[in-house]
Structure 1
């Protein structure tokens, strides 16, 4: 069971990182709110199709936790995509991950998670890995664009709250909390766009990348749900929050964004963290 949890959480991280890469590409080609709404609709379609295969039935607590998760998650994804549009993927994604990891880890430990000693070492290594990959690759701290960094930190806090709220939903509900969450986030962002009188029409050439981002994001959410229903939040959150490693590698080899030796070391520590937790 433990190995299964590690595998699910690690796969979730890889797919989250890939989704973020596609989301970053989409926000550079189209309007941010259009990208968010359309990608979220793609994810909604996927979870709707998967519901019959995720054993469980809806109940009021599960739907309420899901709706709450969708509200904070929807706000977080808007902030995250704005940060991706304005900043470097190789800085924004790890910064968001560092913030998103803290809340569920603290919550899990306070709530009674007691990981094995080797897994605790893996958690520490994972935290260190996120710090390393979050380092600015292009020079001193003054090179930071403070706006995208602040947006990334706020988005990370929202994602961390999303992880906790999904964990609180009863496991017997299956995928229904995710369906409620995605319905809530789509509604929230669409209402925000209408209130701001922003067009939701995608710019030419952006729709395939946008839909891919949303579908991959939901696939990662499903894997996270399956992992957290079977394992400890503090472990699953750390493994899932290692997703910047795949975003960094894609940004490096597809977009040519330069990684510093410190960031490359961070990717190595991320792999070490996975190995330590898996061996516990």
Structure 2
């Protein structure tokens, strides 16, 4: 399978996962929910990684970058959950899905050639997101628009670093061990935050079946991107995965009844056309 195909699988899995995040974040504590999702995904990966993983092929560099990817993934996950808690989905999903623009900027700073057309596509993504944000009233969602955007931007930055470091780790080691180490590190980042905060485990048990499903979807999505590392144009997997926002927004329209104005649809179309061009 191509890197682009793996990215589309990740997009579908994360799209369903994120609409579940919006539901769960209204009914259970964010940190305990995120820790449960990460742990469920890790338990799903553990037996496969121990049985089929090429652990002798893991180098010190692979462990270091896996750890960095895990730290970024934990931060990104918290940003995503907070953003979806505040919402609305049609605002935060395009922002989080714009992480390829950050990946493009990082590639340019790293000396990789970035064409003017690619920069134009990146600016189109930013312009589309800005249009969606401007057309959403301050009172919509469960908090301020500025707070939602801030957490969404943190999530986008975290995901950009997660995928870049994770694919680097996979090239220096092996995919399944990298995936397990990444998730274990993300859990290690979140657990101290649970201990530092007195966030109650409110409603966690009632949401457990959904959280376990989210853990499986998250593991499949992240695994698809990591597996793409040795393929041609592995960055296409991360870029294609960013279209998860389309799935999330459509599901929010169907199941949450979030209405969209014509201008907001136009902004989303511009943003995702830019993302789509980066995947070509």
Q: CA RMSD in A?
A: 3.1
- 2:132 is matched with 136
Quick check: 1:155 aligned with 2:155? yes
Q: After superposition, what is the alpha-carbon deviation per residue over 1:87-123, rounded to whole angstroms, capped at 9, x for unaligned? A: 211211211222x2222223335556569x9xx9688
Q: How far off is 1:137 after superposition? A: 7.5
Aligned residue for 2:132, secondary structure, equals: coil
- 2:86 is matched with 86
Q: 1:177 to 1:263 in 2, by over 3 A?
A: farther
Contact 1:59 1:173 in 2 (8 A): no
Q: Which moved more, 1:31-40 or 1:134-143?
A: 134-143
Q: How far off is 1:239 after superposition? A: 1.6
- 1:103 is matched with 102
- 1:261 is matched with 262
Work out the CA distance in 1 between the residues paired with 2:160 and 2:67: 15
Q: 1:234 to 1:250 in 2, by over 3 A?
A: same
Contact 2:3 2:231 in 1 (8 A): yes
Aligned residue for 2:206, secondary structure, equals: coil
Work out the CA distance in 2 between the residues paired with 1:5 and 1:179: 20
Work out the CA distance in 1 between the residues paired with 2:178 and 2:77: 18
Work out the CA distance in 1 between the residues paired with 2:6 and 2:71: 25
Q: How many positions carry a matched residue from both structures?
A: 273
Contact 1:40 1:214 in 2 (8 A): yes
Give the TM-score of the pair, scaled to structure 2. Answer: 0.83
Quick check: 1:69 aligned with 2:65? no
Aligned residue for 1:258, secondary structure, equals: coil
Contact 1:5 1:231 in 2 (8 A): yes
Aligned residue for 1:198, secondary structure, equals: coil
Q: How far off is 1:255 after superposition? A: 1.0
Q: How far off is 1:10 after superposition? A: 1.7
Q: How far off is 1:31 after superposition? A: 0.6
Question: How is 1:77-226 mapped onto 2 (pairs within 5 angstroms)?
Answer: 77-98=77-98, 100-111=99-110, 125=121, 128=124, 131-132=127-128, 135-136=131-132, 139=135, 142=138, 145-171=145-171, 172-200=173-201, 202-226=203-227
Gaps of 5+ in 1: none
